[in-house]
């Protein structure tokens, strides 16, 4: 049996019925702001109306799970895009912040049943972070926006589909 013969459900990149919230850390804003712009442009390019995009600014990546949970718990929010940047320093602080942000964002998605796209850069250098936030190629905010849209559609299909 080939893969083509299987019943396949796959999300489409299209705007959801509700709003999409972008939660963006102010810490390392020189990187995160580029990711916000990539996410915003990708949402608009894929049919989202500007009035259905909510931007929420927070202090840093550690706060992403709490604010993402508050937003994902709202009926008018279909998805959350969590954006931040954690750049390795000389202490273990990087490991704690990056690990807790990752685990917390994952838990919010599982607990609420709503997509929370992980757009947190964890890099060793500022140069690596800027490269991953570049508007020229590979903007991880833009990538996270695509994930949020696709996952909204996929979850909607899974709820409606009789398997």
Q: Kindly provide the residue ranges of all beta strands, DSSP E only, lying in 61-127, ordered along the sequence.
A: 77-87, 116-123
46-96 pLDDT, tens digit per residue, is: 999 999 999 999 999 999 999 999 999 999 999 999 999 999 977 777 778
93-118 pLDDT, tens digit per residue, is: 777 888 899 999 999 999 999 999 99
Whether 43 sits among the annotated catalytic residues: the reply is no
What is the CATH code for 18-157?
3.40.50.960
Q: Is the pLDDT of residue 147 over 90?
A: yes
Q: Looking at 12, 26, 57, 93, which residue is catalytic?
A: 93
Using an 8 Å Cβ cutoff, are 44 and 26 in contact?
no
């Amino acid at each position: 049996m080939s893969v083509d013969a299987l019943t396949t459900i796959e999300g489409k990149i299209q705007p959801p019925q509700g709003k999409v919230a972008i939660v963006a850390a102010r810490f390392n804003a020189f990187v995160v702001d580029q990711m916000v712009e990539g996410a915003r442009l990708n949402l608009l390019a894929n049919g989202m109306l500007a009035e259905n995009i909510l931007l929420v600014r927070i202090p840093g990546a550690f706060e992403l799970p709490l604010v993402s949970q508050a937003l994902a718990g709202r009926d008018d929010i279909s998805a959350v895009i969590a954006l931040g940047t954690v750049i390795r320093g000389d202490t273990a602080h990087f490991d704690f912040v990056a690990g807790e942000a990752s685990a917390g964002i994952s838990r919010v998605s599982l607990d609420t049943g709503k997509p929370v796209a992980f757009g947190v850069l964890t890099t060793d250098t500022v140069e690596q972070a800027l490269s991953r936030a570049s508007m020229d190629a590979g903007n991880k905010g833009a990538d996270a926006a695509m994930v949020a849209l696709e996952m909204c559609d996929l979850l909607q299909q899974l709820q409606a589909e009789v398997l």
